[in-house]
Every structure is written in structure tokens, then in C-alpha cells.
């Protein structure tokens, strides 16, 4: 990447759920235009990391910097306005609203968008996800799993974010659809967005990522280039089943 300035920086972040500590002082940074992936098994703290970055979970300790501003204590809606998009785990589309209404709902968090810009963004989603255009009047809940995931991602893109944080986009999807989704992630990066990707599907995630972090029991135990981690015997043993 030519432009190497840091968009998102997390320092010494800890999160507790009651007496249980979910994250114990993790630090990571994401540079402009990168795809960064955070891999780890169930309960490692991946989702918690995202939730606390976007302000949906309370932080016990640490600071989060976004575009040079301290967003540690900021409300989630203000974080969204700054250009951070969080596509939550399990898709969480609005089942009773139509695909179009789901997309419009994505633009709610960014009041600076004009009507024309929203229309442009919708056209952009159609280009990225032609399937959604076919289903525009349909209820979100009637889409297939893969389509719902695409809807969730494009709904997130409707706020015109700078960084997109995806929480397990491959969850519960057929392998062939997962490949589609990962191709889309590359396309979104090529549109100039920065991506923080959380995955259990480590091999797929690491193969597209610029850099990766391995999370275990609330701590980052390894970090490095995507390819390097993919070849690392420890990662292989733990996450790739080889």
C-alpha cells in the first residue's frame, strides 16, 4: 500500500462481562486500504473486539483511535457518523422490511447523505450485488442465507463508511457462497475501503488478508502477514486442521 497511515488503532483493550474477562489487553492497528483479519476459535473474543471498537460493548480498559480521534467513550451513532461500519455477526438483517427498506435503513446513521447520494449508493450496491436488485421488493427474511449476508454487507456500505468491520461473514454459508463473499470483500477493498475481517474460516480469511492477528482466550498470540500466518505450523495445527 502506498498510503500507510493508520485508520484504526486499538491499544491495550480489555473487556469484561461481569466477572469474566473476555479480552485482556489486546492491541492492533489497521492501515488505510488494508484487509486485516482477526482469526480465532469460538470464545476467543473476536466478536467482543468488534463490539467494543464500535461502541456496542463497554470497555474496561484501553483506548481506541479512529482517524486520529479517541473514540473509546464515544456513542455508537457518533462512531458510525465518523465512517465506521460494523456488520454484526449472524447478519441481523431486518426480516420484515423489504430489501430496499433494509438498504435505506443502512443510510440512517449518516445524516450527511443527500437523497441523490443515497440513490447513487443504492446503484453501487446493485453493481456489487446484482442479486439484490432482483429481490428489491422482497422481504429481507425471505432471502437465502448468502443473499442475507450480501444484504447485511451492502446495508453497511449504505452509510458510505471508510472502514468496514465484518463479523464472520461466512457463518453458516455453503463453501461456494463463501467464495463469492470473499471475492466481494476484495472488490469492496478495491473501492477504497479499509476492511477489518473476523473469521473462523482461517484459511480463506488469511489468503485474502494483508495482515492477520490470531486471538486466543482474549489475547493476541500471533500477528503477521496473511501468507506467513497461513504457512505457520502452529496456526496450521490449531486452525487449519493440517
Partner 1 sequence: MEAIRQYYEKYKLAVYLILFLISVIVPFAVEQALILRYICTIMMYATLAGSLNVINGYSGQTCLGQAGFFCIGAYTCAALTKNVGLSFWIVLPLAGILAAAVGLLVSLPTLKLSGIYLSIVTLGASEIIRIIAQTWTPVTGGALGIKQIPYPNLFGLELFRPKYYYFIFLAIGILFLFVTGRVLRSRVGRAWMAIREDQVAAKSLGVETSRCKCTNFMYGAFWAGIIGAAYAPFVNYIESSQFTTDTGFNVLAMVVIGGQGTLLGPILGAAIVTVLTETLRFLENWRYVIYAIIIILMMWVRPQGLLGASDSILAGGKIRRKQDRQEGKRK
In whole angstroms, how close is the CB of 62 to partner 1 at the nearest point?
20
Give the other-Cβ count within 10 Å of 234's Cβ: 11
Residue 60 to residue 51: CA distance in whole angstroms: 13
In whole angstroms, how close is the CB of 9 to partner 1 at the nearest point?
21
In whole angstroms, how close is the CB of 155 to partner 1 at the nearest point?
7
**Contacts of partner 1 in 143-182 (CB under 8 A):** 155-156, 159
Torsion angle, alpha carbons of 58, 209, 28, 3, to 10 = -120
Q: Does 226 bind partner 1 (CB under 8 A)?
A: no
The CA–CA distances, whole Å, from 111 to 81, 123, 124, 159, 160 equal: 8, 19, 19, 9, 11
Kindly report each contact of residues 69-72 with a partner whose C-beta sits within 8 Å and lies 24 or more positions away, as own/partner.
none
Q: What is the DSSP letter of 91?
A: -
Q: Does 131 bind partner 1 (CB under 8 A)?
A: no
**Contacts of partner 1 in 30-59 (CB under 8 A):** 54, 56
Q: What is the DSSP letter of 168?
A: -
In whole angstroms, how close is the CB of 47 to partner 1 at the nearest point?
11
Cβ nearer to partner 1, comparing 97 with 128: 97
**Interface with partner 1 (CB under 8 A):** 54, 56, 75-77, 79-81, 86-88, 92-98, 101, 104-106, 108-111, 137-139, 142, 155-156, 159
Amino acid at each position: 500500500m502506498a498510503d500507510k497511515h493508520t485508520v484504526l488503532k486499538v491499544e491495550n483493550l480489555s473487556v469484561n462481562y461481569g466477572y469474566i474477562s473476555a479480552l485482556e489487553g489486546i492491541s492492533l492497528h489497521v492501515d488505510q486500504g488494508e484487509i486485516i483479519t482477526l482469526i480465532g476459535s469460538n470464545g476467543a473474543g473476536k466478536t467482543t473486539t468488534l463490539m467494543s471498537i464500535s461502541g456496542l460493548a463497554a470497555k474496561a480498559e484501553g483506548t481506541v483511535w479512529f482517524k486520529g480521534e479517541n473514540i473509546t467513550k464515544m456513542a455508537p451513532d457518533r462512531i458510525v457518523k465518523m465512517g465506521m461500519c460494523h456488520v454484526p455477526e449472524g447478519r441481523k438483517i431486518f426480516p420484515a422490511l423489504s430489501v430496499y427498506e433494509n438498504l435505506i435503513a443502512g443510510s440512517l446513521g449518516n445524516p450527511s447523505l443527500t437523497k441523490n447520494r443515497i440513490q447513487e449508493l443504492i446503484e453501487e450496491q446493485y453493481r456489487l450485488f446484482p442479486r439484490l436488485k432482483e429481490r428489491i421488493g422482497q422481504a429481507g427474511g425471505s432471502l437465502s442465507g448468502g443473499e442475507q449476508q450480501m444484504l447485511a454487507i451492502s446495508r453497511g456500505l449504505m452509510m458510505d463508511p471508510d472502514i468496514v468491520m465484518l463479523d464472520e461473514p461466512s457463518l453458516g454459508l455453503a463453501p461456494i457462497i463463501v467464495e463469492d463473499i470473499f471475492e466481494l470483500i476484495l472488490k469492496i477493498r478495491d473501492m477504497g475501503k479499509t476492511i477489518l475481517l473476523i473469521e473462523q474460516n482461517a484459511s480463506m480469511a488469511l489468503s485474502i488478508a494483508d495482515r492477520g492477528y490470531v486471538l486466543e482466550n482474549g489475547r493476541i498470540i500471533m500477528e503477521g502477514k496473511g501468507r506467513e500466518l497461513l504457512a505457520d505450523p502452529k496456526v496450521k495445527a490449531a486452525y487449519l486442521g493440517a
